[in-house]
Homo-oligomer: A and B are copies of this chain.
Amino acid sequence: MADTAGSRARNRYTVEQRRAEILNATRDVVLRLGFGGTRVRDVADELGVSNGLIHYHFASKDELLAETLRFAANDDIARLEEAVDTARPALERFDRMLRNYLPGPGDVSWRLWIDAWGEALRNENLKEISQELDEAWVALLERVIRDGVHEGAFTCENPRASAWRIAALMDGLGLQVVLHRSTMSRTQMLEHARTLAAIELGLERKAFPARR
């Protein structure tokens, strides 16, 4: 009675495991085909299960896509927070955020976000989720700046405004790199981000590490 679901979990999937597995697969499919281009069938095929199973766990395709976005968002934020929590001093912590947030070689989640922005124009669920992630990200950036100021590593008059500017710059840069790779390299992108950051935090440009 204490754990009715758990007792079945030994050799079978629980509902929660299955849902997570489906969300995971959906993310992969959406990365290939986009929100608009993803069919329920594609997700089923990805897992080698039946079409009907997806509808068994998710009431509609819309719900599936919205939950997939939230799932991916939580992942991204968790990854960033982890990067922040483990690094010091302040400058390394900050730079690690930049490197983690900006799109990297194997990075795919940017594609998801760019796609989600477009979809969010017409879908309230997605709009809400993308806004949540955005605010969480700016808040994290602001926190790292404030901590740095506290430690005496940075000088910054208005951490909130600086965080917004840096976040906006990085969104714009990431967009360029992911969408039109030819126009800008990751190196240049990092260079731009660090240049603005140095200005905003009252540092010398060369204070930043050369790491990519």
Contacts and interface: CB of A to CB of B under 8 A. Distances in A.
Interface of A: 33-37, 111, 114-122, 127, 130-131, 134-135, 161, 164-165, 167-173, 175-176, 178-180, 182-184, 188, 191-192, 195-196, 199
A33 to B, nearest CB: 7
A117 B150 CA distance: 39
A143 to B, nearest CB: 17
A116 B121 CA distance: 11
Contact of A167 (B120, B127, B172): B172
B115 A114 contact: no
A171 B117 CA distance: 13
A35 B153 CA distance: 47
A115 B114 CA distance: 9
A183 B117 contact: no
Contacts of A188: 164
